[in-house]
Amino acid sequence: MIIFYNKNTGEIYGMIQGRVHDKRELEDSSIRPDEVPESEIGKYVVPFKPVFVAEVVKGKRVTRGDHLSPDVEFSSEINELDEGKKKTNDFKLVLNNGKVSGMIVNPNKIIREKKSKPLLKFDEIKKLREDRLIEANKKARLMDLQHEKKRLIKK
């Protein structure tokens, strides 16, 4: 996996999925907004390590490679990106002296999400109230009918 980010802010612009990359992806590729100069783009190649599983085959203990896992302290965040549970703009890279040292939840993303929640208009609120009132009246009428049925059965 290759992550493209702003060298100054740590903002992530995009990524290339995968474990093995060719020369074109490693050297010539870039993901960035048009207004951000190429000189401000960093490229972080996520290191992966093999995870081995021991199992018994025909009475012998055998170790085999099971999968590759991110070999960084922020592997859980990388896995969320890799599995599609989160988007690249949900995170921001932590930079120390220009080097990637971690990944955090993007504070700008949280603020945007809180602000972007749409408010209901007066007509929508009125309609919701009417719908709830109609539903409550239906339930009350049904209870009245059930009560009446029980009274008639007892006679």
- Predicted local distance difference test score (pLDDT) of residue 110: 54
CA distance 43 to 146: 70
Residue 148 CA from chain centroid, whole number: 54
- Residues 40-62 have a mean pLDDT of 86
Which range has the worst mean pLDDT, 2-16, 44-58, 115-129, 132-146? 115-129
Q: Are residues 127 and 105 in the same domain?
A: no
Q: Where are the beta strands (DSSP E) in the chain?
A: 2-6, 12-16, 41-45, 48-57, 60-70, 91-96, 99-105
The answer to whether the pTM exceeds 0.75 is no
Contacts of 105 (CB under 8 A, 6+ apart): 90, 91, 92
Q: What is the pLDDT of residues 80-95, one digit of tens each?
A: 888 888 888 888 888 8
Q: Are residues 69 and 135 in the same domain?
A: no
The whole domain housing 122 covers 118-155
Q: Are residues 81 and 145 in the same domain?
A: no
Q: What is the pLDDT of residues 93-125, one digit of tens each?
A: 888 887 888 888 877 665 444 455 566 677 777
Q: How many domains does the chain have?
A: 2
Beta bridge partners of 106: none
Q: Are residues 108 and 124 in the same domain?
A: no
Q: Are residues 107 and 129 in the same domain?
A: no
Secondary structure (H, E, C), 104-120: EECHHHHHHHHHCCCCC
Q: Are residues 26 and 91 in the same domain?
A: yes
- Residues 61-87 have a mean pLDDT of 84
DSSP code at position 46:
-
Q: Are residues 102 and 78 in the same domain?
A: yes
Q: Are residues 107 and 132 in the same domain?
A: no
Q: Are residues 92 and 146 in the same domain?
A: no
